[in-house]
Structure 1
Amino acid sequence: MARVLVVNIPAEGHINPTLGLVKQLVDCGEQVVYVCTEEYRDKVLQTGAAFRAYPFPMDPFSHDPDLKPAPYKHPSQFADMVVRGIIQKIIPEALKVAEQDTYDYLIFDSLMGWGGTILAQRLGIPAVCSIASFAFVDPLGAEQDYYEDFGGNDANLYASTMELAHQLARQFNVPVPSIQELTKHAGQLKLVYTSRYLQPKADQLDDSFLFTGTSVVPRLDAPPFDFEPLLDPNRKIVYISMGTILNRDLAFYELCFAAFQQLPFQFILSSGRDTDMTPLAAYIPDNFIVRPYIPQLEVLERADAFVTHAGMNSVSEALYYDVPMVMIPLTSDQPLVSNRVQELGAGITLKPSTLTPETLRDALLQVLSDRSYKDQACVIGESLRQAGGYVRAADAIIRTFSTVEQK
């Protein structure tokens, strides 16, 4: 039996994929201590793990300028976000908590980048990298098809980022990293919560990357929901959600109402816990159910299509249930995710800058009427379900580190 330290960032899409793994490790006899912010205490405790909190502002990805999601036009922007927004702010606080005890191995979120290496080196333990998106063969911002020209500002940003990295290396008494190492997936084992089939450029990743598929476990904190309106087998169900961070755009919701109000489908819209829908209350069509928080897994299990921001967690859960998508990527890795799903034929990508009620309605009708989108979603879904899930992930971790202990 090993003592396991899990350190994560305060983001729903990074927490949720780890919950099945943590519960499985606990069920296998491992002693797991999960370190994150206070708002995730109850969710983590339901897995059977112990919980420790590091101090951090609530909802930082919505309010902190260093963490607020933005399109990355150059790889240096992503590296700077990791160093300035996450490593500088989270790692010192997480380390204070972690150093209060001893552990046999570490599981850290990939968005911590070099920060995970700092934790492992300071604690003197091996590490597992938890990758809640695709494994990045190229850093975000390197895909110039998605982003505008950065305007020659990369040299200044590079210098600023590396200066901070040197300061942090001195602070933690660890070797200075290269710019590539700041965002590199480190660790003896890298868990990727997708399938090798869905992962772009999977042939360029070595055997330390373990593709375990979507991690789907019941969410005990899911709100009650009346599924009675969804029982009509002749009425298609369309779920709409823009995730938990960039979900306060009332203009987008108004556009959805205009696009879909005449369609004979049942729409379910998750507006977000902190979104004030009062200004739109009088405009919600009769074929819409609007709630601040929806039990997403249960709705996707019944849905015929999903209108989404193409966050990796949401896309993975939709494909796990064979649901084709209309994707409107907004930031970060979302263009990469939506592009891959479209490339494999399971959805349509729309640009937010040119979105109209007509283009949105036409895309949804195409996804629902052309059977190929559903068929391809099923192909991807099967690859996710057959990847082994959190059971395979936990088994691989335990075998890897029991071998290390024996040596």
Structure 2
Amino acid sequence: MARVLVVITPAEGHVNPSLGLITELVKLGEDVVYVCVEEYRSRIEQTGAKVMTYPFAEDAFSHEPTLKPLAYRHPYQFLHMVTCGIIPRMIPEVLRLIEHETFDYLIYDSLMGWGGQILAEKLGIPSVCTIASFASVEPASIENGEVINTRELYEAIMNKAKEIATTYKVSLPAVEEMMAHNAQLNIVYTSRYFQPRAEELHDRFLFTGSSIIPREDAPEFPFYLLRERHTKTVYISMGTILNKNLEFYKLCFDALKDQPVNVVLSSGKYTDITSIEGMIPDNFIVRPYVAQIEILQHADVFVTHAGMNSVSEALYFDVPLVMIPMTSDQPFVAGRVKELGAGIVLDQHHLNAIQLQEAIMETLHNPIYKEQAHLIGKSLKEAGGCTFAATAIMQQFAKV
């Protein structure tokens, strides 16, 4: 039995995919210590792992300037968020918690970037990187994206990186390597079919498909209403970070209020919808939080921001998508879904109720979208899942 340290960025789309893998490792006898924030304690404890928590402001990715996602126009903007936002907040807290602990290997989240390798170097142990989006085929390049003030970003990144390297007495990577997948094993929660340019990735990348695990703490939902009202159901969720746009919710009301469909809208735990409650149409069910895996098994179309975790869960259940990407990797993910024919992409900046209605109705009634979603879903199911991932980790790292 090996002792395993797990450190995942405290965000729904990164914690949730890790839970199935950790459950399987615990079943196989590994002693797992999962370091995260108190908000996720209950669902992590359901895996059988021990939980250690550190302070991290709730909803920090929505309101803290350095962490708040942008419509990234250049890789340095994303790297700045990781190096100047995530690493300084997470790494000191993790090292403080495990100061007197020893581990045999580390599992860390790719969103931590260089932070994962800092922990591995400090502890002197091998590492596994879990990738909740597509794997990067090549290092970030200064030529990618629009021309912005890259010099200022570069200087801010490197100044902070030098400070971190000095503080923790670790090696300083080149800027191009700070987000590289340099772990001994990289678990990618998608399939080779869905991953762009998968043939260019080396054999340290393991494609395991969507990580699907039932949530024991999922809130109750009146599924019987979906059977009593209409035959088709539209599910709308803009994730847990970009879900406070009440004007968008009003747009959804206008687009679907007269349509013969059930609409389930997840408005967000931190979103105050008091001002629009009187506008909610009769065919809508609005909840602050919906157990997504459960509702997707009843949905016919998913309107989403195209976060990778949401997209993967939808496609696993063969649900086609209407995507309104906003930030981070969302445009890239949405583009891949569109390329494979499983959904429609809309522009958030030029969107009205008629366009949204037409996209949803097209996706609902044109069978090609469902067929293509099924093809991707089939590849995700056949990839091997968390059991495959856990077995691979055990073969490489477990103690005899």
Cα RMSD between the aligned structures?
Answer: 1.5
User: What amino acid does structure 2 have at the position aligned with 1:392?
Assistant: F
Does 1:206 pair with 2:213? no
* 1:356 matched residue in structure 2: 352
Of the structure 1 ranges 112-121 and 88-97, higher mean CA displacement relative to structure 2 is found in 88-97
Corresponding residue of 1:300: 296
Amino acid at match of 1:343: E
For 1:231 and 1:64, how far apart are their aligned partners in 2?
41
Q: In structure 2, the residue corresponding to 1:183 is in which secondary structure?
A: coil
Identity level (%): 56
Q: Tell me which of 147, 170, 190 is aligned to 1:150.
A: 147
Deviation at 1:183, TM superposition (A): 0.9
Does the CA-based 8 Å contact 1:72-1:141 persist in structure 2?
no
- Separation in 2, partners of 1:258, 1:140: 41
Show CA shifts across 1:190-234 (max 9, x none): 000010100111111111010000011110111011111122596
**What is the 5 A alignment of 1:43-62?**
43-62=43-62
Distance 1:200 1:94, change over 3 A: same
Q: Which amino acid aligns with 2:147?
A: F
Is the 2:139–2:177 Cα contact (8 Å) retained in structure 1? no
1:82–1:182 contact (8 Å) kept in structure 2: no
Find the aligned partners of 1:71 and 1:230 in 2 and give their Cα distance: 35
* Contact 1:78–1:139 under 8 Å retained in 2: no
Whole-Å separation in 2 of the counterparts to 1:27 and 1:230? 36
What's the counterpart of residue 33 of structure 1? Answer: 33
Answering whether residue 337 of structure 2 is matched by residue 341 of structure 1, we say yes
How far is the alpha carbon of 1:26 from its aligned partner?
0.5
**1:347, distance to aligned residue in structure 2 (A):** 0.2
SS of the residue corresponding to residue 267 of structure 1 reads: strand
The alignment status of 1:102 with 2:102, answered yes or no, reads yes
Q: Match for 2:254 among 258, 262, 283?
A: 258
Per the alignment, residue 132 of structure 1 pairs with: 132
Query: Which of 234, 237, 261 is the aligned partner of 1:238?
Result: 234
Q: Which amino acid aligns with 1:45?
A: E
1:140–1:333 Cα contact (<8 Å) kept: no
Return the alpha-carbon distance in structure 1 between the equivalents of residues 100 and 308 of structure 2: 34
Change in 2 beyond 3 A, CA 1:140/1:373: farther
Moved over 4 A (4+): 138-144
The CA deviation at 1:186 is 2.0
1:114·1:186 contact (CA, 8 Å) conserved in 2? no
Q: 2:2 corresponds to which residue?
A: 2
| AA aligned opposite 2:342 | A
Q: Corresponding residue for 2:66?
A: 66
Contact in 1 for aligned 2:135/2:195 (Cα 8 Å) = yes
SS of 1:353's equivalent in the other structure is: coil
Q: How many pairs align? A: 400
Say which of 277, 280, 287 aligns to 2:276: 280
Contact 1:73–1:141 (CA under 8 A) maintained in structure 2: no
Could you give the per-residue CA deviations for residues 302-352 of structure 1, whole angstroms, max 9, x where no partner exists? Answer: 111000000111100000000000000010010011000000000000010
Deviation of the 1:55 alpha carbon? 2.2
- Code of the residue aligned with 2:390 in structure 1: it is A
Counterpart of 2:268 in 1: which secondary structure?
Answer: coil
Code of the aligned partner of 1:85: G
- Distance change (3 Å), C-alpha of 1:140 and 1:13: farther
Label 1:42 to 1:203 Cα distance change in 2 as closer, same or farther (>3 A). same
CA shift digits 1:157-193 (9 cap, x unpaired)? 1122112111111111111110011111121000000
SS state of the match for residue 231, structure 1?
helix
TM-score of the aligned structures, taking structure 2 as reference length: 0.97
CA distance in 1, matches of 2:141, 2:131: 18
2:170 equivalent to 1:187: no
Matched, 1:82 2:82: yes
The answer to whether the 8 A contact 2:306-2:330 is kept is yes
Gaps of 5+ in 1: none
The letter for the 1-side match of 2:104 is D
Give the secondary structure class of the aligned counterpart of 1:354: coil
User: Aligned match of 1:216 in 212, 215, 227?
Assistant: 212
SS at match of 1:169: helix
Query: Within 1, Cα distance between the matches of 2:9 and 2:100?
Result: 19
Q: 2:162 aligns with which of 153, 163, 166?
A: 166
- Give the direction of change, closer, same or farther, for the CA distance of 1:78–1:393 in structure 2 (3 Å limit): same
CA separation in 1, counterparts of 2:208 and 2:170? 32
TM-score, normalised by the number of residues in structure 1: 0.96
Aligned position for 2:306: 310
Aligned residue identity for 1:254: K
Query: What 5-or-longer segments of structure 2 have no aligned partner?
Result: none
CA contact (8 A) 2:320 2:343 kept: yes
Q: Decide whether aligned partners of structure 1 residues 233 and 260 sit closer, same or farther in structure 2, where only a CA change above 3 A counts.
A: closer
Equivalent pair of 2:263/2:284 in contact (CA under 8 Å): yes
Q: Distance in 1 between matches of 2:269 and 2:129?
A: 30
Give, as a single letter, the amino acid of the residue that structure 2 aligns with 1:391: T
